[in-house]
């Protein structure tokens, strides 16, 4: 008898449970998908107007952008190759954001990481390739990590604004790169474009089998997933969220805010440093000015568009990687200057920042969520 | 255009009939009627959220009621915005000051007028002001900067400003909350005098029964947006008014005092701290709190109490001085807080002790999340434990929330404070630091929080309680110290405390 009642109740109870527990969550998440998507659509619309002013057809623009980013297997691979460092540099902004810090110096950590990784590879180039690769990764992460940790330390011990200091450190990193590449570390045979010596083909990180996409993408995805777990499932992440949500509350319960800042900044810089190592070990083969390709800056955009969520960083990085990948096609087919994609990125950034004020404004989401 | 109404030169009455105001689906005011007779002192009582502010804001034109009418001196009027209310001679004095601190009192008075000329002829204005003041029952230093005068003088200036603008119906929103008892009596007494002379009508929002009994003629009591009772003060007692305010709700029974004082658990010596502007705020505070003792710190707000609490809570670094918890030096680290079983109930808990966007369960776990059983292996959060523990505390502390997963920012003030109370007092407490723990809360929450604090004391905890509410201090504390200008200037056992003496020291005399 009892079992019968239970069986009869179970489907309704389950349904109710689903309605109560699951639906609100979906609608809460929906807001975080719909608003950035709208922001993206508005940016594309604005960019369409911009392009129309130059006498091009915006519909052509959208078509070629799609074609160049996701239209063919070739463009997909191009997109993913660009997405790999973007995931990592986006983490450089998204991780400190959990603590309420705005770090925009991922580019600097990427360059320093590339330099230290290259230095490591050249120092032990005779070792077995796997040892060289692991040492490069460690060196890159430590280099990049310490670089951003410097910003964190300036903020914690000296009250220097971390946004400004991390940005200024980018230019210092760039100067160090140029100095070393054109000076002490220069390969005498690199005549037109100063470079360091090549790390050697054997030490290069290969591609994912069957593709032209290097392993950096896999490392990026792993780093993003680990970051997500760190933030939402560990004691450290919890403490960081408390401190990021309300510094005064964190102090009342005695959390060591300084330690949180330094460790988080180190991890953030390590992610960007790993991106730099990947660019050397999988793409360039040596450190040179090509490394300053703006991945660090686009990563800021990725992080903001993903609302600083490490998992959301992955699809957003693919999307932005796609926009970058479509650049070539736009130049060839529409005869547009190569900076036009940067204009689009700038427009997206402004619209996304502006859309931040829209959260919680739509009663529709709230009604659905409650 | 604004309906022209003869400016009243003498007191007039206000009647509000069947006032209803809804915000979305929430009815803040449900067919409430209020009748204030001319030249009377009327008190408006009610718990937080009872609708007192909504009612007076409807009268002042800040809100438009959904239903109901306002009758001013026998004429039905529509008050579309505050300017219309001002033109009718209605004025409002707020709990917090609206004077410009960097200007003199005279400048503030002239500035408030609607018809300030482009170039002010100060000689002429001074003469007019002097003439105006000579007809007033109280004086203020016209040439002093507002930042240099005392809280009592500021509140007097606020009231003078309303009278200077020829407002003859004054609405006072908890006007004495920043004043010492002496200052409060002086200001209210002067207003009472003007009311008796037929120059003024006063409607005062308050929660202090003492002031109602001493100064008001009639009282209207609201409860949950409805009229709960009204009558002449002479027919009522504080008890009967309190019962009408809270209705049938059961209040937590206050435990009696038990146990003896132990040894000193919290010792502060020679503590100095600066405020946000870098000025000395805490000056050489030396204080010791024994186990099983509640030490109350009285003082008008802004005399260094906040900075003192912030230092103890770890939110501010001391310039110099020493703090010992159970005899061990204390620098506000998590280890030290744990070892000494220190708990803190800071003021404005949502701002000082919670993360608004994190869940109730997360907020309840701030003290314990990093060790077993909340954390497995020191690293992994044990979500099930968070939930179980939260559900237990939600029941035990009567926290009203949709679920343990709701963001704490969605809860009402009382329930936020209950959450913090559950977190801070849910475990072993040996030393408790509390600052204005009941500010802005309803009776049920206040009774519960007071009972928890007494219970912690009875279990042997040393309690340092800072409060701007002297009645609360005298009710809870075993010993009262007064803080003025960053220093502890007076100390008395609560049993022998004399309100006048305490008030005198709060004012710095």
Structure confidence by residue, pLDDT tens digits, B177-207: 777 788 888 889 989 998 998 889 999 998 7
Among A121-125, B4-8, B167-171, the range scoring the smallest mean pLDDT is B4-8
Per the listing, tokens 């079983």 go with B341
Q: Which residue in B333, B335, B354 is closest to A246 by CB distance?
A: B354
Per the listing, tokens 């007028």 go with B113
Contacts of B314 in chain A (CB under 8 A): 251-252, 254
Contacts of A251 in chain B (CB under 8 A): 313-315, 332
Mean pLDDT of A39-47: 90
Name the residue of chain A whose CA is nearest to B374's CA.
A235
B358, A245: Cβ pair inside 8 Å?
yes
Position A16 scores a pLDDT of 59
B370, A235: Cβ pair inside 8 Å?
yes
A248, B332: Cβ pair inside 8 Å?
no
H helices, E strands: number in chain B: 17, 22
Q: Is B367 touching A (CB cutoff 8 A)?
A: yes
Q: What is the 3-state secondary structure (H, E, C) of B265-307?
A: EEEEEEEEEECCCCCEEEEEEEEEEECCEEEEEECCCCCCHHH
Position A362 scores a pLDDT of 66
- Checking if the pLDDT of B407 tops 80, the result is yes
Position B6 scores a pLDDT of 43
If pLDDT is split at 50, 70 and 90, which confidence band does A64 have?
confident
If pLDDT is split at 50, 70 and 90, which confidence band does A9 have?
very low
Among A10-14, A102-106, B30-34, B287-291, the range scoring the smallest mean pLDDT is A10-14
Residues of A with CB under 8 A from a CB of B: 233-236, 238-239, 241-242, 245-246, 248-249, 251-256
Contacts of B332 in chain A (CB under 8 A): 251, 254
Q: Which residue in B335, B352, B369 is closest to A249 by CB distance?
A: B352
Query: Of residues A192 and B204, which shows the higher confidence score?
Result: B204
Structure confidence by residue, pLDDT tens digits, A69-87: 888 898 999 999 999 999 9
A246, B351: Cβ pair inside 8 Å?
yes
**Distance from A368 to chain B by nearest Cα, in Å?**
15
- Checking if the pLDDT of A4 tops 80, the result is no
In the three-class reduction of DSSP (H, G, I as helix; E, B as strand; rest coil), residue A280 is classed as helix
A284 vs A282: CA distance, rounded Å: 7
Q: Is B369 touching A (CB cutoff 8 A)?
A: yes
If pLDDT is split at 50, 70 and 90, which confidence band does A260 have?
very high
What's the pTM? 0.77
B403 vs B394: CA distance, rounded Å: 9
Alpha-carbon radius of gyration of chain B: 25
Q: Annotate B388-447 with DSSP letters as a single string.
A: HHHHHHHHHTT---S-TTSBGGGS-HHHHHHHHHHHHHSS--SEEEEESTTTT--HHHHH
Pick the CATH number of B264-506 from 3.40.50.1260, 3.40.50.300, 3.20.20.80, 3.40.50.720: 3.40.50.300
**Distance from B340 to chain A by nearest Cα, in Å?**
13
A235, B380: Cβ pair inside 8 Å?
yes
Alpha-carbon radius of gyration of chain A: 23
Position B388 scores a pLDDT of 92
If pLDDT is split at 50, 70 and 90, which confidence band does B3 have?
very low
Q: Is B346 touching A (CB cutoff 8 A)?
A: yes
CATH assignment, B14-102+165-245: 3.40.50.300
Position A19 scores a pLDDT of 57
Mutant choice from B306, B343, B358 vs A, greatest count of A C-beta within 10 A: B358
A–B: how many Cβ contacts below 8 A? 71
Residue B203 pairs in a beta bridge with B42, B171
Contacts of A234 in chain B (CB under 8 A): 379-381
Q: Is B357 touching A (CB cutoff 8 A)?
A: yes
Structure confidence by residue, pLDDT tens digits, B442-489: 777 888 889 999 999 999 999 999 998 888 898 899 999 999 999 999
B355, A239: Cβ pair inside 8 Å?
no
Cis peptide before B312 (omega within 30 of 0): no
Mean pLDDT of B294-320: 91
Position A99 scores a pLDDT of 93
Mean pLDDT of A285-290: 89
In the three-class reduction of DSSP (H, G, I as helix; E, B as strand; rest coil), residue B202 is classed as strand
Mean pLDDT of B271-298: 92
**Distance from B411 to chain A by nearest Cα, in Å?**
14
| Contact yes or no for B319/B273 (Cβ under 8 A) | yes
Which residues 157-196 of chain B have a CB within 8 Å of chain A? none
If pLDDT is split at 50, 70 and 90, which confidence band does A184 have?
confident
Nearest in space to A120 (alpha carbons), one of A193, A200, A220 = A200
A40 vs A46: CA distance, rounded Å: 10
**Distance from B273 to chain A by nearest Cα, in Å?**
17
Ranges in chain B annotated CATH 3.40.50.300: 14-102+165-245, 264-506
| Contact yes or no for B187/B176 (Cβ under 8 A) | yes
Nearest in space to B14 (alpha carbons), one of B111, B94, B90, B101 = B90
- Checking if the pLDDT of B401 tops 50, the result is yes
Q: Is B377 touching A (CB cutoff 8 A)?
A: no
- Checking if the pLDDT of A310 tops 80, the result is yes
B337, A253: Cβ pair inside 8 Å?
yes
Name the residue of chain B whose CA is nearest to A236's CA.
B379
Position B471 scores a pLDDT of 83
Element (H, E) at A299: helix A295-305
| Contact yes or no for A182/A194 (Cβ under 8 A) | yes
Position B284 scores a pLDDT of 94
Position B40 scores a pLDDT of 93
Distances, alpha carbon B417 to alpha carbons B29, B347, B409, B412, in Å: 25, 9, 11, 9
In the three-class reduction of DSSP (H, G, I as helix; E, B as strand; rest coil), residue B26 is classed as strand
Query: Of residues A168 and A64, which shows the higher confidence score?
Result: A168
If pLDDT is split at 50, 70 and 90, which confidence band does B2 have?
very low
């Amino acid at each position: 008898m009892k079992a019968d009642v239970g069986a009869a109740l179970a489907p309704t109870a389950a349904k109710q449970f689903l309605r109560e527990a699951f639906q609100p969550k979906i609608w809460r998440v929906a807001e975080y998908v719909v608003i950035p998507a709208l922001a993206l659509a508005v940016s594309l619309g604005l960019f369409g107007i911009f392009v129309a002013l130059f006498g091009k057809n915006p519909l052509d623009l959208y078509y070629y952008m799609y074609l160049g980013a996701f239209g063919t297997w070739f463009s997909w691979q191009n997109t993913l190759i660009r997405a790999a460092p973007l995931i990592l540099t986006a983490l450089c902004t998204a991780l400190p954001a959990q603590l309420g810090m705005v770090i925009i110096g991922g580019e600097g950590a990427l360059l320093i990481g590339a330099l230290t990784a290259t230095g490591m590879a050249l120092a032990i180039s005779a070792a077995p390739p796997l040892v060289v690769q692991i040492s490069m990764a460690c060196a890159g992460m430590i280099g990049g990590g310490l670089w951003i940790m410097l910003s964190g330390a300036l903020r914690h011990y000296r009250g220097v604004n971390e946004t400004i200091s991390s940005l200024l450190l980018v230019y210092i990193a760039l100067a160090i790169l140029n100095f070393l590449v054109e000076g002490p570390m220069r390969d005498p045979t690199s005549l037109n474009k100063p470079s360091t010596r090549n790390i050697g083909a054997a030490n290069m990180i290969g591609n994912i089998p069957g593709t032209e996409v290097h392993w950096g993408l896999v490392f990026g995805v792993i780093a993003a997933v680990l970051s997500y777990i760190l933030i939402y499932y560990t004691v450290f992440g919890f403490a960081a969220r408390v401190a990021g949500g309300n510094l005064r509350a964190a102090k009342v319960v005695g959390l060591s805010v300084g330690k949180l800042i330094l460790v988080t900044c180190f991890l953030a810089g390590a992610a960007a440093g790993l991106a730099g190592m990947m660019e050397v070990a999988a793409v360039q083969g040596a450190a040179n000015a090509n490394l300053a390709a703006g991945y660090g800056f686009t990563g800021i955009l990725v992080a903001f568009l993903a609302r600083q969520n490490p998992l959301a960083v992955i699809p957003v990085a693919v999307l932005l990687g796609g926009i970058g990948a479509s650049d070539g096609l736009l130049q060839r087919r529409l005869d547009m200057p190569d900076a036009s994609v940067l204009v689009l990125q700038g427009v997206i950034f402004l619209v996304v920042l502006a859309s931040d004020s829209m959260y919680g404004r739509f009663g529709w989401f709230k009604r659905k969520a409650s | 255009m604004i309906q022209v109404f003869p400016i009243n030169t003498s007191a007039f009455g206000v009647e509000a009939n069947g006032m209803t105001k809804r915000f979305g689906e929430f009815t803040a005011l449900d067919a409430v009627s209020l009748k204030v007779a001319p030249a009377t002192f009327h008190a408006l009582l009610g718990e937080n959220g009872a609708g007192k502010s909504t009612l007076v804001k409807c009268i002042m034109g800040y809100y438009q009621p959904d239903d109901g009418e306002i009758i001013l001196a026998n004429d039905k009027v529509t008050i579309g915005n505050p300017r219309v209310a001002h033109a009718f001679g209605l004025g409002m004095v707020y709990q917090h000051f609206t004077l410009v601190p960097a200007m003199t009192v005279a400048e503030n008075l002239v500035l408030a007028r609607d018809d300030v000329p482009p170039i002010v002829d100060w000689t002429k204005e001074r003469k007019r002001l002097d003439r105006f003041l000579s007809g007033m029952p109280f004086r203020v230093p016209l040439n002093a900067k507002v930042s240099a005068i005392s809280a009592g003088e500021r509140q007097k200036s606020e009231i003078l400003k309303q009278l200077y603008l020829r407002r003859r119906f004054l609405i006072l929103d908890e006007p004495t909350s920043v004043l010492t008892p002496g200052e409060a009596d002086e200001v209210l007494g002067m207003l009472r005098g003007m009311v008796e002379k037929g120059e003024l009508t006063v409607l005062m929002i308050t929660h202090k029964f003492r002031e109602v009994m001493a100064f008001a003629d009639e009282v209207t009591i609201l409860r949950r947006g409805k009229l709960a009772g009204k009558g002449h003060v002479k027919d009522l007692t504080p008890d009967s008014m309190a019962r009408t305010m809270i209705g049938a709700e059961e209040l937590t029974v206050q435990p009696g005092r038990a146990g003896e004082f132990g040894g000193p658990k919290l010792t502060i010596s020679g503590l100095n701290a600066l405020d946000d502007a870098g000025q000395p705020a805490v000056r050489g505070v030396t204080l010791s709190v024994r186990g099983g003792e509640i030490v109350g710190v009285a003082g008008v707000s802004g005399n260094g109490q906040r900075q003192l609490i912030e230092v103890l809570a770890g939110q501010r670094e001391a310039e110099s001085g020493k703090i010992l918890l159970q005899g061990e030096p204390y620098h506000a680290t998590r280890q030290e807080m744990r070892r000494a079983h220190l708990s803190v109930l800071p003021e404005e808990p949502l701002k000082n002790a919670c993360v608004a966007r994190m869940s109730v369960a997360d907020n309840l776990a701030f003290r314990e999340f990093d060790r077993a059983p909340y954390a497995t292996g020191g690293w992994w959060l044990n979500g099930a434990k968070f939930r179980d523990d939260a559900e237990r505390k939600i029941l035990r502390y009567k926290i009203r929330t949709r679920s343990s997963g709701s963001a704490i920012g969605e809860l009402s003030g009382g329930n936020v404070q209950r959450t913090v109370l559950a977190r801070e007092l849910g475990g072993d407490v040996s030393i408790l630091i509390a600052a204005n723990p009941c500010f802005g809360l309803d009776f049920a929450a206040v009774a519960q929080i007071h009972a928890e604090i007494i219970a912690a004391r009875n279990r042997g905890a040393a309690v340092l309680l800072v409060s701007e509410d002297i009645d609360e201090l005298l009710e809870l504390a075993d010993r009262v110290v007064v803080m003025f200008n960053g220093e502890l200037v007076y100390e008395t056992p609560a049993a022998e405390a004399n309100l006048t003496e305490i008030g005198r020291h709060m004012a710095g005399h």
